[in-house]
Structure 1
Amino acid sequence: MTTADLPASRTEPDGSAVVRVLSYNIRSMRDDVDALARVIRACAPDVLCVQEAPRFFRWRKYANRLGMATGLVYVTGGAPATGPMVMSSLRAQVERAEDVLFPRTPGLHRRGLATAVLRIGGARLGVISCHLSLAAAERYEQAGGVLERVRALGVEHAVVAGDLNDRPKGRSFRRLAAGLQDGWATSPWGGELTFPPGDPVGRIDAVFATPGVEVLGCGVPPGLPEADLRAATDHLPVLAALRVPAA
């Protein structure tokens, strides 16, 4: 099994779009960027939801470097969203984008969301990249905030992708899964566990979709070089193929 076994990006005759969404915690590009770029290119995403994008000095330079290495373009996020970022292929047209900050909890890293509405083929898709708190109570509140932001996007179809810092049985993960389709649980494909990359023991990264989106497959993409996955960052990527109805 390889990434080629997942449905490829395409626009259907009825205007619906098959969209590849990749969620990836890239640890601020502190590791092997060439390996990171090879992993992303092999997944051929239409939409890349990044967590832990570079967010300090000259962060835009690093976002541009990642785009040049992968053939993707910056949409929103990075430093303004405190880490989450959205990139896309040239297939996507950006209708609007917004970075959202959660309330600050003293002593904890402030969290935010990178959000956008994209037109792909004949479909209109809301996108949210998130990285939830390490603190359980704050994480649960942020999960609720993600669901509120999905509604606030004002579109019928949306995808949420991110590092949840929680496992499927956790309160925050279950809160999201109660309102959205958990991609892996709905249509498992490839691997399940996402952290750490060498010997993963937990699924803390996920792609979710609103009920009207058809999940064609979702999971850790198989067949990628183990050396690249270990060198690229400290998480494994999650790739989903979604069929989004025409707008």
Structure 2
Amino acid sequence: MVISPLPNSRTEPDGSAVIRVLAYNIRSLRDDEDAVARVIRACRPDLVLVQEAPRFFRWRKHAARLAAKSELVVLSGGATAAGPLLLCSLRATVERTEDVLLPLTPGLHRRGFATAVVRFGAARLGLISCHLSLRADERYAQAGMLLDRLAALDVPHAVAAGDINERPGGRAFRRLAAELQDGWAVRPWGGENTSTSGDPHQRIDAIFATPGIEVLGCGVPRGLPGLTDADLRAATDHLPVLAALRVPAAQV
């Protein structure tokens, strides 16, 4: 099957910015770190919203090394956000960052958000990388916290992405999709299912955008130069999600 090209990053004459956003659960780099970096480079993202970044011994060193191999820089997150991490290209101008830890449920993993506000020329964008709970009630509550945190960023346009740990029919996923644009549902591109990388049979990873952002395409990347099925399988147990978005220029 021939897949149409995903738009490249660029600044439009009206000041809006076309950006490429990647969401990727990298399983704490326990598989093939070089394959993860090759996948990221092949996608040519402006922003990478990572889940399950290294968060224990020398985690900052691991994050910095992945960023360097991917030809990006660390923006925020990691252990201080309980796993979510943000990487960006030098095209992004950083306004502020904040790592947020969510309430801890005894017996379950701590969850958090890596957040930032960045600019691409005249376009201004809020970001949240998330990895929601495996337990349904906690996951639903965390979806509400994510929406509250997006509102607290106090920017007209924002993107939230990550491992939702639930298919689109689930309550938490539907809670997010009721207020945000689900990139795959709006403008499907590439593949759909993200889990597992060796047997993709369900979509549990997603990129969401606030109304006003134009989704130009979103899905599991396929057919990109330098992107191989072998690397996608070897890198981690999830497939990445790549989106091209047009973010309007901020109103002065």
Shorter-chain TM range is: over 0.9
| Kept after mapping to 1: 8 A contact 2:3/2:189 | no
Q: C-alpha separation between the residues in 2 aligned to 1:2 and 1:62?
A: 36
How far does the alpha carbon of each residue in 1:46-70 deviate from its partner, in whole angstroms, 9 at most, with x for none? 0000000000010000011101101
Q: C-alpha separation between the residues in 1 aligned to 2:61 and 2:181?
A: 35
Q: Residue 100 in 1 paired to residue 103 in 2?
A: no
User: TM-score, normalization: structure 1?
Assistant: 0.98
How far does the alpha carbon of each residue in 1:96-141 deviate from its partner, in whole angstroms, 9 at most, with x for none? 0000111010000010000000001220000100000000000000
* Partner residue, 2:155: 155
Relative to structure 1, the CA distance from residue 204 to residue 106 in structure 2 (aligned partners, 3 Å threshold; closer, same or farther) is same
2:242 to 227, 239, 243: 239
- Could you say what secondary structure the match of 2:34 adopts? helix
Paired letter, 2:213: V
Q: C-alpha separation between the residues in 2 aligned to 1:201 and 1:4?
A: 23
Cα shift at 1:199: 1.4
* Partner residue, 1:184: 184
* Partner residue, 1:167: 167
Cα shift at 1:3: 8.3
Q: Residue 115 in 1 paired to residue 151 in 2?
A: no
* Partner residue, 2:211: 211
Q: C-alpha separation between the residues in 1 aligned to 2:219 and 2:116?
A: 23
Relative to structure 1, the CA distance from residue 31 to residue 3 in structure 2 (aligned partners, 3 Å threshold; closer, same or farther) is farther
Paired letter, 2:187: S
| Kept after mapping to 2: 8 A contact 1:2/1:222 | no
Q: C-alpha separation between the residues in 2 aligned to 1:4 and 1:240?
A: 13
Relative to structure 1, the CA distance from residue 3 to residue 52 in structure 2 (aligned partners, 3 Å threshold; closer, same or farther) is farther
Q: C-alpha separation between the residues in 2 aligned to 1:112 and 1:171?
A: 19
Cα shift at 1:84: 0.2
Q: C-alpha separation between the residues in 2 aligned to 1:23 and 1:202?
A: 16
The share of aligned pairs that are identical, in percent, is 72
Relative to structure 1, the CA distance from residue 128 to residue 2 in structure 2 (aligned partners, 3 Å threshold; closer, same or farther) is farther
Cα shift at 1:198: 1.2
Q: C-alpha separation between the residues in 2 aligned to 1:213 and 1:147?
A: 16
Q: C-alpha separation between the residues in 2 aligned to 1:171 and 1:138?
A: 11
Regions of 4+ moved over 6 Å:
1-4
Q: C-alpha separation between the residues in 2 aligned to 1:124 and 1:87?
A: 17
Q: C-alpha separation between the residues in 2 aligned to 1:113 and 1:63?
A: 16
| Kept after mapping to 2: 8 A contact 1:3/1:42 | no
Q: C-alpha separation between the residues in 1 aligned to 2:122 and 2:42?
A: 25
How far does the alpha carbon of each residue in 1:138-184 deviate from its partner, in whole angstroms, 9 at most, with x for none? 00000000000010000000000100000000000000000100000
- Could you say what secondary structure the match of 1:5 adopts? coil
Q: Which runs of 5+ in 1 are unaligned?
A: none
Q: C-alpha separation between the residues in 1 aligned to 2:207 and 2:68?
A: 25
* Partner residue, 2:231: 228
- Could you say what secondary structure the match of 1:61 adopts? helix
Q: Which runs of 5+ in 2 are unaligned?
A: none
Q: How many residues align?
A: 247
| Kept after mapping to 2: 8 A contact 1:117/1:124 | yes
User: TM-score, normalization: structure 2?
Assistant: 0.96
